[in-house]
Amino acid sequence: MGTSSNFYVVFLTIVVLATTTFATYFPRPTHQNQFVLKQSKKPQKPYKSHYFPQQLDHFTFTPESSKIFYQKYLVNDTYWEKKAPIFVYTGNEGSIEWFADNTGLMFDIAPKFKALLVFIEHRYYGESLPFGKNSYKSAKSLGYLNSQQALADFAVLIRSLKQNLSSEESPVVVFGGSYGGNGVMTRSLSVSPAVLAAWFRMKYPHITIGALASSAPILQFDEITPWSAFYDAVSQDFKEASLNCYEVIKGSWVELEAMKSQKGGLAELSRIFRSCKVLQSADSARDWLWTAFVYTPMVNYPTEANFMMPLPAYPVEEMCKIIDDFPPGATKLVRAFAAASLYYNYTGTEKCFDIENGTDDHGSDDGWGWQACTELIMPMTCSNESMFTPSTFDYKGVTEYCVKKYGVMPRPHWITTEFGGERIYHVLKRSGSNIIFSNGMQDPWSRGSVLKNISSSIVALVTEKGAHHLDFRSATKDDPKWLIEQRRQEVEIIQGWIDEYNADLRCKGGKTE
């Protein structure tokens, strides 16, 4: 297979922020972060850890299916009053504390609703490992890791929690960003909790009265969304900031590739990239640049943030200023490196860059690799309009990789079979209700989400300047008016769901059916 046709396979192989990886080129809408969120000056949000005895397999009846593992969840009951709402965050691919600490919206609105806050960890991530250290050992142990089992976990835990609290009439609203929003992948190149939240509402409408799915790319599967949409959107973000910036980055790949064949090329690349060690491959330098230019648009927030990396407000614009203000005569590659350095070294503390040895402190890549090789197949390509090297999608190559890595065949059409997606505007108009799809058009994942209202109760809140689940972040005094308004609308809609639910309860004499 050629370089372009092997594109998807290559980025499935290593760890995010390290070398060529699935997460590098196919960024999980999620959250591979090595830093604790510091944007808000508030003290760390309070919650208590609990462990729920969860069944391994919800869908078969065999002796092994009854195996129990302990699923972690966090609870904050600071403002809760009995019978008041329960707000549940559907966890993604990572430790649940990290998501709780980065979802300030729920804490901000809890006092208004007197809500109980619950953050449920996704099976196979964080501490919720069904087979302990052997959970990733083989396809046999990994076989219970999929979105359907995860959604069933959430449903079972929520029901049990309400019974134990003697508050079965409390309305439940689910929240998710990225994979968590879909109800699928949620970290950087996953399809996070936002996807999961939307899917949870579709699959378990008797458990939750509504879902807020932020940056949920539920249409990023099969051929629903153009395969080049993600990288075209990344390129558009840079082009809007500066056409010169876009052209410099686009041209830097050619210069980098040319250095491969030059005598002393790796030594020169090591010097340009301020590598702590002499590079063993030019590909690692390429991936280092690629990561910076892909992830920065996702977090092009209007205020300083530490979500992916410590970054200034509107970091895409700041990157382009570096390129545009560079002294004349510098190569495109040198200018691209200087801009990418903002992503890795905004604080100015890095004396050199460990380009070939990135790590994921959240430990989610083993699980995510499995999900990306089984059900979560999101074809992605780079078109000629992209600022990245053109590439194609090769399903045969993906299959070969996944069979070699895990011994399993991908199911590219399973997600749309299980959850739908085709003709979604017609289907959900008749079959669904009470979902908010919130998106910021600066976020490249927005192109695979719902961007217009489906019905009066399935609404799309879209902001031109918003980025990856920006609305879920803690409110700050520097938030722009459009962000404040987006959150206001979300709260208003959720209040409407709760009011309608309580009105129905009163009509039934205070009893649920």
Per residue in 64-105, pLDDT (tens digit) is: 889 999 999 999 999 999 899 999 999 988 899 988 998 999
Across 355-381, average pLDDT: 78
The answer to whether residue 314 sits within a structural domain is: yes
Listed range (37-41, 75-79, 288-292, 381-385) with the worst mean pLDDT: 37-41
The amino acid that residue 501 corresponds to is: Y
Q: What residues are labeled active site?
A: 178, 443, 468
Q: Which of 13-27, 165-179, 222-236 has the highest mean pLDDT?
A: 222-236
Whether 117 and 109 have beta carbons less than 8 Å apart is answered as no
Per residue in 14-59, pLDDT (tens digit) is: 222 222 333 333 444 443 332 222 333 444 568 999 999 999 999 9
Following DSSP, what letter does each residue of 351-416 receive, concatenated? SSB-TT----TT--HHHHHHHHHHT------B-TTSSSPPB---HHHHHHHHHHHHS----TTHHH
Query: What pLDDT is recorded for position 192?
Result: 56
Q: What is d(CA 462, CA 464) in angstroms, rounded to the nearest whole number?
A: 7
The answer to whether residue 264 sits within a structural domain is: yes
Percent of the chain predicted with pLDDT > 70 = 86
Which stretch of DSSP H or E encloses residue 458?
A: strand 458-463
**Helix-then-strand count for the chain, H and E:** 19, 11
189 in helix, strand or coil? strand
Number of domains making up the chain = 1
Prediction pTM value: 0.88
The answer to whether residue 32 sits within a structural domain is: no
Across 413-427, average pLDDT: 95
Across 1-23, average pLDDT: 33
Q: Distance from CA of residue 429 to its chain's centroid? A: 26
Q: What is d(CA 127, CA 132) in angstroms, rounded to the nearest whole number?
A: 8
Label the pairing between strands 210-214 and 28-30: unpaired
The answer to whether residue 191 sits within a structural domain is: no
Per residue in 97-154, pLDDT (tens digit) is: 988 998 999 999 999 999 999 999 999 999 999 999 999 999 999 999 999 999 999 9
Which stretch of DSSP H or E encloses residue 159?
A: helix 147-164
The answer to whether residue 368 sits within a structural domain is: no
The answer to whether residue 303 sits within a structural domain is: yes
Report the CATH number at residue 341.
1.20.120.980
The answer to whether residue 73 sits within a structural domain is: no
Beta strands in 203-330 (DSSP E): 210-214
Q: What is d(CA 449, CA 432) in angstroms, rounded to the nearest whole number?
A: 16
Query: What pLDDT is recorded for position 215?
Result: 93
Whether 36 and 43 have beta carbons less than 8 Å apart is answered as no
Q: What is d(CA 308, CA 37) in angstroms, rounded to the nearest whole number?
A: 9
Question: Which pair of tokens denotes residue 259?
Answer: 């250095």
Residue span of the structural domain in which 300 resides: 231-345
The answer to whether residue 128 sits within a structural domain is: no
Q: What is d(CA 338, CA 49) in angstroms, rounded to the nearest whole number?
A: 42
CA torsion angle for 198, 199, 205, 209 (degrees, to 10)? -20
Q: Which has more pLDDT, 24 or 447? A: 447
Query: What pLDDT is recorded for position 172?
Result: 98
